[in-house]
Amino acid sequence: MRAKPCTTGTRTAVARRALLDTGFVVALVNKADPDHDRCVDVWRELRTQLLSVEGVLVEAAQLLRRSPGGAAGIVGLVFGAGTELIAITEERASRAVALMKKYADVPMDLVDALLVTIAEERKVHDVLTLDRRGFAAYRVGRERFRLLP
């Protein structure tokens, strides 16, 4: 199971934005992942500015720690796509903790909470994720996320 990045053109010259979540990144990099093909199909057609948090890189690297080239593939994919990694601030961390309490029954982890915090700040409703249960439950205001794939 060799991990390779699936690359496409840069996505920085468009107004539409989407969040990039861990499972989607792992599926793109790992050809053996059962969701690889459907993530690649979405990725090839995607023309949007990607937003994420550092925790996505950390989680993805941990999940692919035994895959040769896994971490390199993740880093290449995320930065090659022009993804804006949004820094954690005290205010964002506080909001993330509040969201984790609100969605404790889902449950929501810190990375997802930070992504939702970014979605609230930037008014983003699209998310590249395989976490259907979580992101189907989370809201930006009263609006649901549009889940891709």
* CA–CA distance, 128 with 24 (Å, rounded to integer): 6
Residue 105 lies in a domain: yes
Residue 72 lies in a domain: yes
Tell me, yes or no, if the pTM score tops 0.85: yes
Residue 14 exposed, middle or buried by CB count within 10 Å (0-12, 13-18, 19+): exposed
Residue 57 lies in a domain: yes
Task: Render each residue's pLDDT in the chain as its tens digit; 149 residues.
Answer: 445 555 544 444 446 999 999 999 999 999 999 999 999 999 999 999 999 999 999 999 999 999 999 999 999 999 999 999 999 999 999 999 999 999 999 999 999 999 999 999 999 999 999 999 999 999 999 999 999 99
If one counts the domains in the chain, the total is: 1
* CA–CA distance, 61 with 38 (Å, rounded to integer): 21
Residue 76 exposed, middle or buried by CB count within 10 Å (0-12, 13-18, 19+): middle
**SS3 at position 34:** coil
Give the DSSP letter of residue 30: B
Residue 69 lies in a domain: yes
Residue 8 lies in a domain: no
Q: Are 107 and 138 in contact (CB under 8 A)?
A: no
Give the DSSP letter of residue 87: P
How many other CB atoms are found less than 10 A from the CB of residue 75?
15
* CA–CA distance, 95 with 42 (Å, rounded to integer): 30
* CA–CA distance, 4 with 76 (Å, rounded to integer): 9
Which pLDDT does position 11 carry in this prediction? 46
What CATH number is attached to the domain comprising 106? 3.40.50.1010
* Structural domain that includes position 68: 17-148
